[in-house]
């Protein structure tokens, strides 16, 4: 058995106090997001500030988590894009209760968000799809995401055919591909602190974008 008991680190880079937080969790998320984005060591360490873990309850009853990229956020919530026929797309269609989380290791921070996922409008999905490079557009069409395939060669052959079909043509968004908006109902901010006495501040939605705020024991 591999013993990881000696893997220890002291967290001492920042603090999270009630005296310095806004009433709205999206404002605090925006502050943290930009602080991490501007932190010199983050990209150098290979990090992507908009990488987040999306957890769903699968059709088999098991939770499943995977990393995707956050593409937009606002007071309404957090948007990512995917194939609606994928495993996570079908899981969300069956149970829209999801959790998304961010881990920004260079600043010793986590954000954990419970929310309700819903499809974005077709216009929102079209706008984002149109902004993608042609290779990414074709990749979305080629992949029957989460389905079993014989080999990688199958994907590459389909891509080559599509590249010829759409040469010098606009590439439309397929109906099975688009965005999900996760509307938050609870947002927890976690800041690493010394001696494992981490700061945890939880926002819970009351109604109409009003939030209760509590400190949680680490």
**Position 12 in a domain:** no
84, with CB counted inside 10 A (0-12, 13-18, 19+), is buried
pLDDT at 166: 92
**Position 11 in a domain:** no
> Annotated catalytic residue: which of 31, 66, 193, 196?
196
pLDDT at 208: 85
User: In tens digits, what is the pLDDT along the chain, a chain of 218 residues?
Assistant: 988 877 777 788 899 999 999 999 999 999 999 999 998 666 666 789 999 999 999 999 999 999 999 999 999 999 999 999 999 999 999 999 999 999 999 999 999 999 999 999 999 999 999 999 999 999 999 988 888 889 999 999 999 999 999 998 999 999 999 999 999 999 999 999 999 999 999 999 998 889 999 999 99
**Position 1 in a domain:** no
pLDDT at 44: 63
Q: 216: which residues sit within 8 A by CB, 6+ positions away?
A: 188, 200, 201, 202
Structural domain that includes position 94: 18-215
**Position 7 in a domain:** no
pLDDT at 5: 77
Q: CA-CA distance, 168 to 182, in Å (whole number)?
A: 36
Tally of domains in the chain: 1
pLDDT at 6: 76
**Position 203 in a domain:** yes
Is residue 188 within 8 A of residue 200, CB to CB? The reply is yes
Domain CATH number, residue 197? 2.30.110.10
**Position 5 in a domain:** no
Annotation marks residue 196 as catalytic:
yes
* Strand partners for 53: 67, 101
Pick from 166, 165, 174: nearest CA to 140: 174
Q: Report which secondary-structure segment, H or E, holds 27.
A: helix 25-38
**Position 135 in a domain:** yes
**Position 6 in a domain:** no
pLDDT at 22: 97
């Amino acid at each position: 058995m591999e013993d990881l008991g000696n893997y220890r680190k002291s967290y001492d880079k920042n603090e999270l106090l009630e005296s310095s937080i806004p009433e709205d969790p999206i404002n605090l998320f925006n502050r943290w997001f930009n602080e991490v984005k501007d932190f010199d060591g983050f990209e150098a360490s290979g990090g992507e500030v908009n990488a987040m873990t999306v957890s769903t309850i699968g059709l088999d009853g098991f939770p499943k988590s995977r990393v995707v990229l956050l593409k937009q956020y606002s007071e309404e919530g957090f948007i990512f894009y995917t194939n609606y026929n994928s495993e996570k797309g079908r899981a969300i269609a069956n149970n829209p209760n999801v959790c998304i989380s961010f881990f920004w290791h260079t600043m010793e921070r986590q954000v954990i968000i419970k929310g309700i996922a819903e499809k974005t409008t077709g216009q929102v999905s079209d706008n984002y799809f149109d902004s993608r490079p042609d290779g990414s557009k074709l990749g979305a069409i080629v992949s029957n995401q989460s389905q079993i395939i014989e080999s990688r060669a199958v994907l590459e052959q389909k891509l080559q055919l599509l590249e010829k079909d759409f040469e010098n043509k606009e590439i439309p968004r397929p109906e099975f591909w688009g965005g999900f908006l996760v509307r938050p109902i609870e947002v927890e901010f976690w800041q690493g602190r010394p001696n494992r006495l981490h700061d945890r501040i939880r926002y819970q939605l009351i109604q109409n974008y009003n939030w209760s705020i509590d400190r949680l024991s680490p």
